[in-house]
Amino acid sequence: SLAWQATGMIVIRDFLPDKAKQVDALALQAFAQYQKAYQDWPVFQAKLGKLSALANVGELVVAEVGGQVVGAVVYIGPNAPKADFFRPEWSIMRMLVVTPEMRGRGIGRLLAEECLHRAQRDGATTVALHTSDLMQVALQMYQRMGFKLVAKAPLIHGVAYGIYVKELAADEHLFPFLPL
């Protein structure tokens, strides 16, 4: 278990392969509370345990405290390969996970905001994700950030998912700049 220190700084950075085991374990920890909801949990669990492999299809971003990975998300840019239920021109975020001991500290939001920054960098006008009503904390965070439900996604191992999008205004700055 990761001890949180009041002085603990959260570092958001690109994934490095030497952290693969930590990232894969994190995904399993993050989803463990939902295992009874998913059909074929062992099959789904095997996929979750390969989160680090998503670094091959997108930009895997991690949150670290004291050198330990406490959160992760995968950003996939516009016109990169993605699930058919997402439009090709959308940027998407996948598999946002935070270790249970570190939830409620803004780590998920920092990771989501990093995906929004990358989408702006890439000139995307829309960022999408899919999530389930099971994940109430994450869903409420996405809604507070301006994501809106636009469609149902296919079931994932028997669990209903929705597709949520956030439109990025061309003049929207995530970092407000002060005039000189």
**CA dist 147 to 70, 130, 166, Å?**
24, 10, 5
Percent of the chain residues topping a pLDDT of 70: 89
Q: Is the pLDDT of residue 5 over 50?
A: no
Q: Which of 149, 2, 117 is nearest to 71 (CA)?
A: 2
Reading across the β-sheet that carries 10-14, which strands appear in turn? 10-14, 59-65, 68-76, 91-98, 126-131, 159-167, 148-156
Q: What's residue 4's pLDDT?
A: 44
**pLDDT range class, residue 25, cuts 50, 70, 90:** very high
Only one residue has tokens 């021109």, namely 89
CB 77 within 8 A of CB 93: no
